[in-house]
């Protein structure tokens, strides 16, 4: 998966009601009113009754980029965490069911970031070659738990919900070099200053994550034989039409209120 888009388009995948919720979270920060946040949630009451709604409203608040929005996102995902499914039980769930799982990331081969030279499965760069842009890339990976159970995660359409870091100034050749995606290189060449402000986060091998996605199965030589006419299958998570695969670091789910 590889995508580059304007910062203003970074939330286009969220439904309109969720964007209103995120605006409400930001308004709560600006106005110092908890009532504003509650009002925002009333915008989509039916959505909050299902797991998909919890993720989407939380995600909308998180990408609002304000402290209250991020806290709201964490609260919603903690609710989802109560329904975590052990990786070993994922095979028993129906095709297309929305599920929540946790595990540590494994991948071979891995990728690295544009600015961060660390083995990872996902990178997210916020940078300013010509206005503010977001460039993301991801590869398929596996989740493994303490008992050794393993599932696959298909990265197509995935979203890693994490905020940007303070940008640093980098020389243009860091973006315009061999191994960097052509779209990133093309944008870098538009910059006439010779330096670009950017920040990048990477999701490293070994990180413990929570993943919300739709259950499916894919061919895997190490998987289970479910039908002699089919190759061995392994439980897999993917994005869906209504909700992309949502990845969150377990460390970011810690309850700040205990």
Distance, in Å, from the CA atom of 125 to the CA atom of 10, rounded to the nearest integer, reads 12
Residue 169: exposure state from Cβ atoms within 10 A (0-12, 13-18, ≥19): exposed
- Region of 131 please: left (phi>0), alpha (psi -120 to 50) or beta: left
Q: How many CB atoms lie within 10 A of CB 32?
A: 9
| C-alpha to C-alpha distance for 128 and 136, rounded to whole angstroms | 14
Residues near 239 by Cβ (< 8 Å), separated by ≥ 6? 154, 156, 157, 158, 213, 214, 245
Q: What is the dihedral of CA 80, 82, 85, 86, to 10 degrees?
A: 130
Torsion of the alpha carbons at 64, 65, 67 and 70, rounded to the nearest 10: 70
pLDDT tens for 37-49 read 444 444 444 443 4
Pairing of strands 150-153, 233-238: parallel
Kindly state the tokens that stand for 44.
Answer: 């989509």
Residues of the chain with pLDDT under 50: 29-51, 57, 59-67, 77, 81, 256-258
| pLDDT at residue 23, as a whole number | 58
pTM over 0.95: no
């Amino acid at each position: 998966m590889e995508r580059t888009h304007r910062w203003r388009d970074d939330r286009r995948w969220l439904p309109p009601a969720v964007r209103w919720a995120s605006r409400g979270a930001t308004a709560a920060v600006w106005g110092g009113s908890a009532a504003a946040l509650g009002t925002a949630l009333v915008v989509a009451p039916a959505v909050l009754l299902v797991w998909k709604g919890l993720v989407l409203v939380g995600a909308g608040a998180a990408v609002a980029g304000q402290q209250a929005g991020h806290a709201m996102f964490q609260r919603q995902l903690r609710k989802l965490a109560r329904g975590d499914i052990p990786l070993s039980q994922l095979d028993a769930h129906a095709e297309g069911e929305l599920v929540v799982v946790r595990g540590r990331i494994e991948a071979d081969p891995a990728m690295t970031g544009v600015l961060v030279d660390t083995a990872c499965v996902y990178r997210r760069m916020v940078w300013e070659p010509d206005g503010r842009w977001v460039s993301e890339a991801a590869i398929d990976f596996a989740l493994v738990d303490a008992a050794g159970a393993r599932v696959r995660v298909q990265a197509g359409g995935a979203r890693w919900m994490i905020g940007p870091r303070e940008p640093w100034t980098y020389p243009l050749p860091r973006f315009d070099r061999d191994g960097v995606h052509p779209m990133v290189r093309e944008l870098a060449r538009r910059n006439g200053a010779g330096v670009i402000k950017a920040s990048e986060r990477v999701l490293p091998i070994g990180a413990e994550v929570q993943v919300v996605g739709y259950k499916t199965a894919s061919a895997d030589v190490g998987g289970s034989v479910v039908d002699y006419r089919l190759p061995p299958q392994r439980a897999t998570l993917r994005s869906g039409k209504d909700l992309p695969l949502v990845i969150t670091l377990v460390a970011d789910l810690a309850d700040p209120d205990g």
